[in-house]
Structure 1
Amino acid sequence: MFLVFAPIMESMHDDWLSTGDVAAILGVSRQHVVDLCDRGELICTKVGAHRRIRRRDVARMTKPSVTREQEKSLWLHRALLGALMVDPRGVLQAAKDNIATWKTMHRPDGMTVRYLDQWQGVIEDGVHEVVEVLTGMDEQSSELRQNSPFAGVLPDEERRQVLRAFREHWEREHGPVGTAA
């Protein structure tokens, strides 16, 4: 009967890491990990005199941090995915039209035009590349979303619903914010 439970016990042990394991993952000293645990910055459980940390808590520390504005932009752009999948030509044409209009309103040597040029290239690469940028967690995707040509694609009511849902999510995760999303 013990053999039946052995794989379960093994997977339970794989979920918990020692301070040395965490130190190797984070690229810091074991003592630093102990200090993080003692300060409450990393949740741990003591097993005898040893600290054990859940793998998922370490993963949270290694995720790239995003600002509230970056995450809000990510939520809005994820909401665009439905429209993009239903009407890819129409959504991409709306973005192209915005790019053409906005390029005439900004200095040709300015950053805005550079971002619009990058978006133009992404759109020319096709729907799959657009989806990658709309949902990407990398720095380049985040910067492009902050300069998005997809204004006007989401109906106003849907945009308000997304912003309301985002605000509720943010407050659950990070606490209330003094300004509205």
Structure 2
Amino acid sequence: MESTHRRVEEWSIRYHQLVAEKLKAQPERVLAKARANLARLRRQHPNSEPYMARWQALLEGPLDELLNVMVSPGEDARALRQCTPFAGVVPPRERSAAFREFAREWRRSRAAR
């Protein structure tokens, strides 16, 4: 089971690295999408408000801080990524291709053990 959790977490970081690339290239577009998603998430998940408030602060703060938290392996960042406001930022085909590559890398790394 630990392996499954680790794989999910590593994919989450990889996805957020893709989002970070989009954010650097088109900050206003990505931030607008994230803010709209965050507003929807707040309505749908009122019990997650502490995470939503943290995302709100990050979206309104310095870009470097947001980028660092998005890809941090730390426990706080891991918890935040579980309710990410960045859904839809990476186009489906690009996300699928990235996931397939991630899955190949994951299988190779496990086979090498």
Structure (1/2) with the larger helix percentage: 2
Tell me which residue corresponds to 1:141. Answer: 77
Tell me which residue corresponds to 2:7. Answer: 68
With structure 1 as the length reference, what TM-score do the two structures score?
0.56
Q: Spell out, residue by residue over 1:45-103, the C-alpha distance to the aligned partner (whole angstroms, 9 max, x if none).
A: xxxxxxxxxxxxxxxxxxxxx71111010011111122111110110111111111121
Structure 1 residues 1-181: aligned runs within 5 Å: 67-107=6-46, 110=47, 112-175=48-111
Sequence identity of aligned pairs in percent?
A: 32
Structure (1/2) with the larger strand percentage: 1
Stretches of structure 2 that go unaligned for 5 or more consecutive residues are none
How far the C-alpha of 1:127 sits from its partner, in A, is: 1.1
In the aligned structure 1, how far is the partner of 2:96 from the partner of 2:76?
26
With structure 2 as the length reference, what TM-score do the two structures score?
0.88
How far the C-alpha of 1:133 sits from its partner, in A, is: 1.1
User: How many residues matched?
Assistant: 107
How far the C-alpha of 1:106 sits from its partner, in A, is: 2.3
In the aligned structure 1, how far is the partner of 2:15 from the partner of 2:43?
26
Q: For 1:114, what is the secondary structure of its paired residue?
A: helix
User: Structure 1 stretches (4+) deviating beyond 3 angstroms?
Assistant: none
Q: Higher RCO, 1 or 2 (CA under 8 Å, sep at least 6)?
A: 2
Stretches of structure 1 that go unaligned for 5 or more consecutive residues are 1-65, 176-181
In the aligned structure 1, how far is the partner of 2:63 from the partner of 2:80?
16
RMSD: 1.3
How far the C-alpha of 1:126 sits from its partner, in A, is: 2.3
